[in-house]
Structure 1
């Protein structure tokens, strides 16, 4: 497994809640996040690093999207 850094479109609520909406893959295609299954502080054991892990459904597939020190990455 490795980290792939991506651009993310996210929403910060007035209460400070961070919610990713979509991300841009390395080929330039934007993928909408269908549903966030879980949000928690966690380590990316497979790719290294840690931060807020968002378990997301994207086109029926589960992906782990991490927010770590101001950067977003996917664990692939």
Structure 2
């Protein structure tokens, strides 16, 4: 059973494409252990704050496979809201 859990800001490497108008589109995320995940779809982009881990910037709602999550661009770095297991949150 999953508890309330805790969250932390996890900075990640992101491969992006910038068009001629300066719009940034993330293409993939590289996790800290070296695994790379292709971003299948960008569903929304808006300026927003992360309520779970703090910080603000552009919030990209993205889809990787079947999972929809948020990726934040806090110029000049990217982060995700990483869920900590109950054991790590103590």
TM-score (normalizing by structure 2): 0.81
* Structure 2, unpaired ranges of 5+: 1-6, 83-90
* Structure 1, unpaired ranges of 5+: none
**Partners of 1:14 and 1:57 in 2: how far apart?**
24
1:35 to 41, 49, 69: 41
What residue in structure 2 maps to residue 21 of structure 1? Answer: 27
Following superposition, which runs of at least 4 residues in structure 1 exceed 2 angstroms of deviation?
none
**Partners of 1:51 and 1:35 in 2: how far apart?**
19
1:46 Cα deviation (Å)?
0.5
- 1:29-63 CA deviation, whole Å, 9 max, x = no partner? 11000101110000011011000000101111011
**Partners of 1:16 and 1:3 in 2: how far apart?**
26
- Higher normalized helix content (fraction of residues): 2
2:5 is equivalent to residue 3 of structure 1 = no
- Bigger Rg, which one: 2
**Partners of 1:63 and 1:5 in 2: how far apart?**
15
